[in-house]
Structure 1
């Protein structure tokens, strides 16, 4: 048939997964952007007609962030730019101070949309091996681990800005990997790319990426995303 749809479920085991033909293993980067940094050497299929159920459809036109900015029609939203820079630009256009009630409401709505957009791109199920493989590919973990346990460990050891993970889907810019939590903290503070924590829409996959931004290196973050020490500010991204 001219259009081939591939479906995976969270019950697929890693052994069965790797017995699938290579054409069933779809490159997440190529399916989203029609480009792949690995080119012909990529271990996943570059199939124009394939779809990944845990990611957004290629024909999808309206995203949670599109919906958010659409609630402010007088702002000319550039969907190809970083979402954080667009939010700050909108605040400037409307002359909102940090303590402005209207800005506070808009910021809360923006954070909800940001989390929901992450979920649409990368999924929420911590037991879905395909979601972990997609995430590992985007943050350039190589070779991509074969099991859930190894994927989780690899991602937990990787320091990336989560807003960048959302942005890369539209900006096509590669996600920067930082050598330490402290370096990630410096970048996040400099760019203002803070990702919301303790959000009602946050899925399990997202929590493996949370880092201490305001106080890097103090305490630790558990799998639930909660900080195990209470000293200092709790803001993470």
Structure 2
């Protein structure tokens, strides 16, 4: 049961609106929107400032769509269903365990919410996810390591 109220209303995460002169596009993909903001703010790619704001943008965007209260069973079940685990398990512990077996790109997960279209691609193996992610869309490791929903989907890409 995807909560589409934010998508339908065109709501925008307040992270994007706090930069003077920057007009956010709530339908743009997360990496694209961050690159646009970084250019607007003249942040040098991979600088400390760029990394700091990238982590903040990604964390803020994930929390905007999924929340930060990982003590609510309904949120865990919603995430399970969104990544194709249906029916969703009846407890947080079982949801966490089920999510550990899912290979999903975290940026794609957020982008699906931003766009309101479809489900994120589910990879059959860690290797497929790794190949896709390293060449395209990595989520800031520091942000993903924080306790909560996203930690269960985090995969170390060696």
Superposition TM-score tier, normalisation by shorter sequence: 0.7 to 0.9
Instruction: Report the Cα offset of residue 97 of structure 1.
Output: 5.1
Which consecutive residues of structure 2, in runs of 5 or more, have no partner in the other structure?
none
Asked if 1:169 corresponds to 2:113, the answer is yes
Query: For 1:182 and 1:107, how far apart are their aligned partners in 2?
Result: 26
Larger Rg: 1
Instruction: Report the Cα offset of residue 87 of structure 1.
Output: 2.4
The aligned length equals 157
Which of 146, 149, 157 in structure 2 is aligned with 1:205? 149
**Which residue of structure 2 lines up, in the alignment, with residue 84 of structure 1?**
31
Listed one character per residue, the Cα deviations across residues 140-167 of structure 1 (whole Å, up to 9, x for unaligned) are: 1112111222211111110111111211
Instruction: Report the Cα offset of residue 57 of structure 1.
Output: 9.5
Instruction: Report the Cα offset of residue 201 of structure 1.
Output: 9.5
**Which residue of structure 2 lines up, in the alignment, with residue 51 of structure 1?**
none
Task: Please state which structure has a larger fraction of its residues in helix.
Answer: 2
TM-score normalised per structure 1: 0.56
- 2:106·2:153 contact (CA, 8 Å) conserved in 1? yes
Instruction: Report the Cα offset of residue 206 of structure 1.
Output: 1.8
Query: For 1:110 and 1:97, how far apart are their aligned partners in 2?
Result: 12
- 1:162·1:209 contact (CA, 8 Å) conserved in 2? yes
TM-score normalised per structure 2: 0.79
The verdict on how the C-alpha distance between 1:204 and 1:105 changes in structure 2, with shifts beyond 3 A counting, is same
Asked if 1:71 corresponds to 2:19, the answer is yes
**Which residue of structure 1 lines up, in the alignment, with residue 72 of structure 2?**
128
The verdict on how the C-alpha distance between 1:201 and 1:32 changes in structure 2, with shifts beyond 3 A counting, is farther
Query: For 2:10 and 2:19, how far apart are their aligned partners in 1?
Result: 19
- 2:123·2:129 contact (CA, 8 Å) conserved in 1? yes
The verdict on how the C-alpha distance between 1:90 and 1:203 changes in structure 2, with shifts beyond 3 A counting, is same
**Which residue of structure 2 lines up, in the alignment, with residue 144 of structure 1?**
88
**Which residue of structure 1 lines up, in the alignment, with residue 11 of structure 2?**
61
**Which residue of structure 2 lines up, in the alignment, with residue 36 of structure 1?**
none
Q: CA RMSD in A?
A: 3.0
- 2:7·2:116 contact (CA, 8 Å) conserved in 1? no
Higher relative contact order (CA 8 A, sep 6+): 2
